Structure formats: C-alpha cells, structure tokens
C-alpha cells in the first residue's frame, strides 16, 4: 500500500510537529513501507535528514496572495507566478517569517483554508488533488492535523480512499485566534471531520480534550504515543564529571513555553546558596517576534545578579542539541499551555537527564510511562524551584530517575514503534473501508 502524508512547514522554525512528522515517515520507510511526505506552505525545517518531497503544495506566499487579492488581475497573476516558484519557496526556511504562524495575522487565511473548495485557495487545492490522484495515487491519505482538514472533502471525492488525521497540538493556534474566528474555525473543523475516517492522537490527554472539543466519537480515535530516532542517543555517555550543576531548557523560546518561570525558579535556587556555580542553559528557536520577551528575561536575570549564570543559546542543530543535552543535570520546559506532545522531554530522558515538568497536558502520562522525573504545580515558580532542588540535592535520586527514564524511552518510545503502530491503524482503517 502507498501512503501519502500531508505535513505543514513552519518557515524557518524548528517545529516539534514537523520534526515528529519527518521522524514518523522516515521510520515507516525504514520498515519497508511505501510512504510519501508531502510538504505544504513551506519546506519542513528538521534536524534529521529530511524525507519530504521537494515540491511544496499550497505555497505560503501564493496562499497569502490569493487571500489578500482574491480577484484575478494582471499584477496579481504576475506575482502569483513568481510566488509559485519552487526555488523561492525553498528559500523560506532561511528567513525569519514569524508572522507565518501568527494566528491573529492569519485568522482570515485560516478560515479560508478550512473552507477547502469554497475558500480563496481553491486553485492550490485543485493542483494538489490532481497530483495526488494522477501522479502519486495513494491508497490512504494522512493529514497531519485538523488545521489542514479543508482539502479533505475534495481529496475523498477525487481519490475515494481512506483519510486519517492526526491530533497533536492545533489547539494552541486555535486559542490564539480572535474569539469569533476561533468559533468559526472549530465549526469548520467539525464539518471537515465528518469526511475523516479515523484520527490518531499523540496523547490520551489530547484525544480526550480535542476529541470532545470537535465532537469526535472516541471509537474513531487511536492513541499512538510519540517516538524519537534513538540512534544518536544510544552512544551518549552522560555529563562530564566535575562540571557545575546545570539546569536546561530546550523548546521554542516564547511565553507559552514558560522560560520566564524557569528563570524565576533558577533565581530562587541560586540565591538560596545551596548550589554554588549553578547554571541555567536555554536553547531553542527564537523569533524576532519574541525578542522583547527575551530582553525582559535578560533584564530580570541582571536585576537578580545572575546574568552570568543564565545562557540563552537560541537555535541549535542536531549535533549541537545532543551536546547541549549532555551538558545538563536536570531538564525543564514549564509550559503555560497544556502541551499535548512533550517531545523535548523524551529527548532529555534519552540523553540520560531527569526532568521536572508541569502536571498538565501530556506530561503526567509521559512521566508515568517513563518514571524519569517529577511533576510541579503549573505556573508556580516556587513549586518548580522546590522540585528542581529535590533532584539537584539528591544525586542518588537523580540517577535513579535518569536510569529509569532513559531505559523506558529506549525501550518504548522509538520511532520504529511509533511507525509500526501508525501503519497498523492505516491497515485497520483500510480494511474497514468499502470503496464507493
């Protein structure tokens, strides 16, 4: 069977969903399955070898122009031909276009995309459906999340194949929309969901939460927990002895990820005098849109007299990420929102680093499954500092969490396991489908 996987790029940002999609399809291929990952909007920026097709459908600039100038004109059509250049689209990951994923600036575009054939981007939809039907000819189509469910009715009509949809984090974008747009978007997703044969959720939390929000029958949702490519982590030997105690953060550097909370907790720990030389290292994608947020964090660290102990590194490639994780004793990304994935937690645990995470979203599930750390009260810097201190003060406890977490991740959170379970869902859905 041939599987088509539609994934959305996030311009120049290392996006957790993009990296998970790439890891999943790469693992499918390694297991011998005929899987094709088709990028939409922009190429996917990932820190592993990309397995996506070169051609990008629904080019981000084209989609924007069709939304801004829906009526044909000489100049619009000229711009469209330029914007449709695959060479130009492939340059997008090299530029900071943070507004490309801003829900407020893209509210109208979001609704138009969700309207599918009734939206302003119908020409782009027709192009993709034609290619899927006449060139790729898949036996099943998987769309990465419900925000790109607009094309599903047209895909079903043209290809008459099962369509599977992922559930793994679209709520943060939806919640960022203005209230009236959010309601319309959810209504459109509900309408599109009627054409989707099955859903694959990344956590039980998100299956319950988003499934209820959209009104999906629980029987149509299967949980497939995330996995990571473990090869690079198997040879890691842990932190070098004799270096200062270090707390680490690896995620997009933005308010919802909670770096400011971690800095407040760090200040409390450092000023307690219990941990001389304690350091905080933060890595992750930093958009120009969040420069002021980082400036505020730096000012707070300077006011507290810990600016020399706090290092904000920014974007790291794969080898830099592995080296970064090896430099840590404890890891924390104290998200404000209820993160449904928690992929950096798996990467930290695979590297042999214990974690402290908020008791919401997917984190309680991940820590119950791995035994790799502690939970703290969400949005509570004091409780976060106390949980971090518990691990920093007790080397034996920290090592026990580290060993349990690393063993569990390497045993049960591999990319191959994720891919095998996903393909099993595909096969079950295909067997239930009777062609019209």
271-284 pLDDT, tens digit per residue, is 999 999 999 999 99
Enter the pTM of the model: 0.92
Clarify whether residues 255 and 383 are in a common domain. yes
CA dist., res. 381 & res. 375, Å (int): 12
Clarify whether residues 240 and 338 are in a common domain. yes
- The answer to whether 376 touches 383, Cβ cutoff 8 Å, is yes
Structural domain including 105 reads 2-227+415-432
Which CATH number fits the domain that encloses residue 214? Answer: 3.40.50.2000
Clarify whether residues 40 and 160 are in a common domain. yes
CA dist., res. 222 & res. 34, Å (int): 22
pLDDT digits over 54-64, tens only?
Answer: 889 998 888 88
Q: What are the structure tokens assigned to 96, written together?
A: 């900071």
- The answer to whether 45 touches 125, Cβ cutoff 8 Å, is no
How many domains are there within the chain?
2
Clarify whether residues 252 and 388 are in a common domain. yes
Clarify whether residues 253 and 198 are in a common domain. no
In the sheet that holds 330-331, the strands lie side by side as: 310-314, 279-283, 246-250, 330-331, 354-358, 373-376
Contacts of residue 376, defined as CB under 8 A and 6 or more positions apart, other chains included, come to: 334, 356, 357, 358, 359, 383, 384, 386, 387
Provide the 10 A C-beta neighbour count for residue 291: 12
Clarify whether residues 41 and 15 are in a common domain. yes
Clarify whether residues 335 and 351 are in a common domain. yes
Clarify whether residues 286 and 191 are in a common domain. no
Query: What's residue 62's pLDDT?
Result: 86
Query: What's residue 99's pLDDT?
Result: 45
Clarify whether residues 261 and 331 are in a common domain. yes
Clarify whether residues 30 and 105 are in a common domain. yes
CA dist., res. 344 & res. 39, Å (int): 23
Clarify whether residues 216 and 271 are in a common domain. no
Q: Are strands 354-358 and 330-331 parallel, antiparallel or unpaired?
A: parallel
Clarify whether residues 150 and 164 are in a common domain. yes
Q: Which residues of the chain have pLDDT under 50?
A: 98-99, 435-436
């Amino acid at each position: 069977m041939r599987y088509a996987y539609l994934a959305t790029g996030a311009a120049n940002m290392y996006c957790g969903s993009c990296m998970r999609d790439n890891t999943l399809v790469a693992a499918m291929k390694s297991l011998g399955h005929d899987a094709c990952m088709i990028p939409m909007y922009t190429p996917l920026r990932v820190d592993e070898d990309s397995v996506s097709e070169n051609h990008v459908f629904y080019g981000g600039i084209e989609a924007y122009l069709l939304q801004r100038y829906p009526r044909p004109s000489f100049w619009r059509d000229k711009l469209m031909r330029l914007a449709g250049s695959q060479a130009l689209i492939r340059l997008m990951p090299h530029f900071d276009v943070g507004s490309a994923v801003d829900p407020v600036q893209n509210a109208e575009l979001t609704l138009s995309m969700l309207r599918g054939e009734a939206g302003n981007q119908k020409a782009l939809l027709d192009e993709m459906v034609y290619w899927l039907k006449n060139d790729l000819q898949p036996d099943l189509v998987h769309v990465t999340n419900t925000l790109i469910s607009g094309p599903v009715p047209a895909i079903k009509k043209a290809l008459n194949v099962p369509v599977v949809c992922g559930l793994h984090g679209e709520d943060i974008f939806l919640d960022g929309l203005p209230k009236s747009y959010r309601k319309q978007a959810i209504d459109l997703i509900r309408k599109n969901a009627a054409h989707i044969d099955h859903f694959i959720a990344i956590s039980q939390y998100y299956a319950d939460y988003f499934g209820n929000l959209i009104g999906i029958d629980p029987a149509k949702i299967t949980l497939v927990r995330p996995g990571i490519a473990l090869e690079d982590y198997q040879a890691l030997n842990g932190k070098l002895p004799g270096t200062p105690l270090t707390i680490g953060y690896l995620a997009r550097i933005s308010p919802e990820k909670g770096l400011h909370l971690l800095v407040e907790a760090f200040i409390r720990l450092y000023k307690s005098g219990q941990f001389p030389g304690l350091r905080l290292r933060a890595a992750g994608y930093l958009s120009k849109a969040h420069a002021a947020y980082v400036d505020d964090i730096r000012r707070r660290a300077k006011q507290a007299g810990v600016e020399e102990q706090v290092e904000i590194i920014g974007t790291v490639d794969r080898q830099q990420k592995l080296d970064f994780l090896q430099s840590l004793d404890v890891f924390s990304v104290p998200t404000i929102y209820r993160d449904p994935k928690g992929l950096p937690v798996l990467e930290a645990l695979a590297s042999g680093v214990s974690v402290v995470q908020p008791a919401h979203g997917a984190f309680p599930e991940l820590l119950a499954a791995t035994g790799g750390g502690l939970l703290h009260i969400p949005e509570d810097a004091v409780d976060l500092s106390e949980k971090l201190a518990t691990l920093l003060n007790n080397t034996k406890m920290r090592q026990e969490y580290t060993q349990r977490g690393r063993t569990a991740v390497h045993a049960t959170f591999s990319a191959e396991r994720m891919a095998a379970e996903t393909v099993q869902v595909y096969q079950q859905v295909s067997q239930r489908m009777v062609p019209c």
